[in-house]
Amino acid sequence: MSDSADPAELQKHVKKYLLIGGILLAATAATIAIAFYEFPTHSMNIIVGMIVATIKASLVALIFMHLNHERPLIYKFLAFTTVFCVVLFVLFIFSNADPLVDHGFDAPLEAVEK
């Protein structure tokens, strides 16, 4: 067996890595653009930002960490981690909208409006 790889196969992998790198750069630019855009609610800003960040993290894990060639057991762990992460995001958003907790953010607004 020779140590040299097939140049065509190597070129195919390089093209794939460059494509994924370009997608990651575009997603980073989208993240920056999203940071300057004001959605109707602050929670929507967080949700959209987290969706883009999750897509970028998934691409890095699948392509650059070669998790797309793993055994099926790793996908069960990844599915559990994904569900756990989504639950944490939802709990964070619900905790911000808790009517039982007074965040004290209304008083300065009322003083400014008068």
Residues 78 and 62: beta-carbon distance below 8 Å: no
How far is residue 74's CA from residue 68's CA, in Å, rounded to a whole number? 10
Q: Calculate the alpha carbon distances from 43 to 48, 72, 95 in Å.
A: 9, 34, 11
Q: Model pTM? A: 0.60
Domain boundaries, the chain: 9-97
| Per-residue model confidence as pLDDT tens digits over 69-114 | 778 887 788 789 889 988 988 887 777 666 666 655 555 555 555 5
Is the pLDDT score of 5 beyond 80? no
Question: Which pLDDT value is given to residue 56?
Answer: 93
How far is residue 45's CA from residue 41's CA, in Å, rounded to a whole number? 7
Token representation of residue 66 = 């070669």
Question: Which pLDDT value is given to residue 86?
Answer: 86
How far is residue 79's CA from residue 54's CA, in Å, rounded to a whole number? 13
